[in-house]
Structure 1
């Protein structure tokens, strides 16, 4: 049997010791069917427990619906609704803040965007290790900088004891058993030579805790800029505590690049220098980690080196959970003026994650690509979305005005034109941010022809000057 497989075993064939799985601040008690986060316990139905357990055993991988139906229900004929109900129950149990951890990939299956860490059985829950701590701890995937969980450099790894040929994780009454090789594959740790456990150095745990606090700060209240600035000191403290913590360096680099992208930078040159420094630290620590690759791509993007950025975004996007990087491949093509190549990755990202917090931004870029390729009829409704993070409301509405006019929807265009002329002229006269995103001749030529020229013909002569 391969290391990625599991087997169903009847409950009469072996005993069912209490087994616990830790991931991303949660503990799943397989025997009791209880999901615990801090002081909150949620009791799951047996089938829901089995679905979650199998997804955790293959964390970071796409698991098809067919596989889940076979593993959990065996030969029993059930409808797809049974699995859908289990998935919904898991998302409710994870809570609003972590609902994105269980991701749906259209027509492909589900991914648990986390990293499984086994926990030894314990009668007293207070004796358990902190969920999510250490090099195999997972992080919430909500931020743009969310990363495939990283492993500690080998000199700092935990060597877990495996006894007599295998470590089995047993789901009580269901008898769902995970082989030791499955656990090793999921955590990417080599088999240990001695039955002993080395304690985690506190610097790594403290660094991971600070990174988690930084990500929580980015999800808190206030403006996007305020949340970014609140998170930065936490990421820098994590890096000071553990200099080899690549995810801390990457997250800090993203703060600097996102401030520039969002137009919120107080010192663009300083932010770029800091992003370059931090991305270099991440690449030096873990050059193949998705988040390190993505942070390097973000720096190249700020340097207007879009063709080079595409290479790094593609490498980062090879991780199934990194839809952000796959969308950024499309945006980089757009910045190069290749609006045709920009559309497939942006469409795919929106299809894969239509509720992603950056989906509105992706849709606006997709609309711009459609305008540049002469399809205003398809582009018009792409600008109805919220502004996302990068383009002001008025700018987005100018693009919709161009699309409506080009599509022959003249009554709607006239109403929008009237609405825009009643707004603050200072807001309307400011430079178009999308025009300043790229200096590439192909991009500027297509933008001016597809956007600026129609606006000038409609009497908006000050726009883009």
Structure 2
């Protein structure tokens, strides 16, 4: 096992968050002119929490990541947490949160800091240093852009995985690359990182998707072997269809299929390439085949999609553990709102309305399901659970809303044409709504 504070210092990039700069190589946390030196174990704890920013990390996971097989008491970790909060100053408690009986979470997002190269003095033409300069520039360029790409992928990685990704290319490969070939390699990875950053923000998700697509396509043009760029571009097309934001669904599906094939050809075993192929198969309603590719991809989002597909096939019982696992692993994922609604539908279909009521009330992140639709599902859950006072209050509120919004086709009904799914949806959702007087819904 690789312990965070045993990693080579030059593999540890600077990180910035909420006005702080964290140097894990030196164990220093800086805010404006204040610099705090942390103990090595405290440094490793903070690095691990930042690598999992936005996620609750259990005490056991922190103890394993930082101390490995060395037996220590809980007090050792508690002391590190206290030291981090003191270093963070007045915002320590709000940034580093304790979740009772679950663990700790850094309520922020961090990004690597890519320092500018120091200017070098002029060199005499033909000197040894001048001959070695292209290889040195390549090394710095690759390290910098790999750091950016890691940031674009999200910070749900372990510290060991994060640091292992930032390493120098093989020296033999450096000798084979001519100086004129360096720019496209670096530019492609920069564009990939910029495309991922373009998908973040407050604008509607389809808007962010369209902004990112040209960046992924340009990256792929510069480096056709960049599987992640092809996969990300494929996801844009499938997600536009999923969010009912496609201007030409048939063309989007064709492009998604083409780009997923390019990603698989470039890197057949990569999670992103496998997931892109799975997303295409799902759009084609080839659900059983899609599950196979999602299982091979193996990320939390892929596990969520396995659960959704089981639900779309009408097997709500099989959907439950997959969706629960994904939400537990990545509760702040940008698609967690969708996962939670699907989880609620699965609970309704399996006779768990009381548990389902919450899932429709407060989904996390973006959701493809409009608020009015989610409130109708909550109404069914409350009524079916015997919580009649709450159901009546919600029913009265809904009847004051725009009937056109409430009467539009339910997205959850249109996501699958499988007979088993539609039968269970009708029994668990539509029939109760119709009995409560919502005759126009789902017709």
TM-score range, shorter-chain basis? 0.7 to 0.9
C-alpha distance in structure 2 between counterparts of 1:108 and 1:234, whole Å: 36
1:400 partner SS: helix
Which one has more relative contact order, counting CA pairs under 8 Å at least 6 apart?
A: 1
Superposition RMSD on alpha carbons, in Å? 4.8
Shift of 1:308: 1.3
Identify the residue that residue 378 of structure 1 maps to in structure 2: 355
C-alpha distance in structure 2 between counterparts of 1:56 and 1:23, whole Å: 12
Shift of 1:371: 0.6
Q: Is the 8 A contact 2:407 2:440 kept in 1?
A: yes
C-alpha distance in structure 2 between counterparts of 1:277 and 1:390, whole Å: 25
C-alpha distance in structure 2 between counterparts of 1:70 and 1:133, whole Å: 29
2:11 partner SS: strand
C-alpha distance in structure 1 between counterparts of 2:26 and 2:61, whole Å: 26
Shift of 1:190: 11
Identify the residue that residue 231 of structure 2 maps to in structure 1: 250
Q: Is the 8 A contact 1:371 1:450 kept in 2?
A: yes
Q: Is the 8 A contact 2:337 2:363 kept in 1?
A: yes
2:42 paired with 1:48: yes
Q: Is the 8 A contact 1:402 1:454 kept in 2?
A: yes
C-alpha distance in structure 2 between counterparts of 1:275 and 1:64, whole Å: 38
2:384 paired with 1:406: yes
Identify the residue that residue 274 of structure 2 maps to in structure 1: 293
- From the superposition, tell whether residues 147 and 246 of structure 1 become closer, same or farther in structure 2 (CA, over 3 Å): farther
C-alpha distance in structure 1 between counterparts of 2:232 and 2:173, whole Å: 36
Of the three residues 418, 428, 436, the one matched with 2:406 is 428
C-alpha distance in structure 2 between counterparts of 1:328 and 1:73, whole Å: 38
Task: Give unmatched runs, 5+ long, in structure 2.
Answer: 52-57, 90-95, 97-101, 121-135
C-alpha distance in structure 2 between counterparts of 1:369 and 1:412, whole Å: 21
C-alpha distance in structure 2 between counterparts of 1:254 and 1:405, whole Å: 38
Shift of 1:385: 1.2
Shift of 1:332: 1.0
- From the superposition, tell whether residues 7 and 303 of structure 1 become closer, same or farther in structure 2 (CA, over 3 Å): closer
Identify the residue that residue 65 of structure 1 maps to in structure 2: 62
Q: How many residues align?
A: 400
Of the three residues 345, 349, 352, the one matched with 1:368 is 345
Q: Which whole-Å deviations, capped at 9, do the CAs of 1:310-369 have from their partners, x for residues lacking one? A: 11111111xxxx211111111111111100010001111222222333222211111100
Identify the residue that residue 81 of structure 1 maps to in structure 2: 78
Identify the residue that residue 241 of structure 2 maps to in structure 1: 260
1:133-282 matches, cutoff 5 A: 133=144, 138-140=149-151, 186-187=164-165, 201-282=182-263
2:318 paired with 1:337: no
Q: Which whole-Å deviations, capped at 9, do the CAs of 1:428-453 have from their partners, x for residues lacking one? A: 12111111101111101100111111
Q: Is the 8 A contact 1:394 1:427 kept in 2?
A: yes
- From the superposition, tell whether residues 459 and 148 of structure 1 become closer, same or farther in structure 2 (CA, over 3 Å): same
1:292-331 matches, cutoff 5 A: 292-317=273-298, 322-331=299-308
Q: Is the 8 A contact 1:50 1:72 kept in 2?
A: no
C-alpha distance in structure 2 between counterparts of 1:90 and 1:293, whole Å: 42
Q: Is the 8 A contact 2:148 2:193 kept in 1?
A: no
Identify the residue that residue 395 of structure 2 maps to in structure 1: 417
Shift of 1:28: 7.3
TM-score norm. by structure 2 comes to 0.75
Task: Give unmatched runs, 5+ long, in structure 1.
Answer: 10-17, 93-98, 100-105, 150-181
TM-score norm. by structure 1 comes to 0.71
C-alpha distance in structure 2 between counterparts of 1:107 and 1:344, whole Å: 22
C-alpha distance in structure 2 between counterparts of 1:341 and 1:22, whole Å: 41
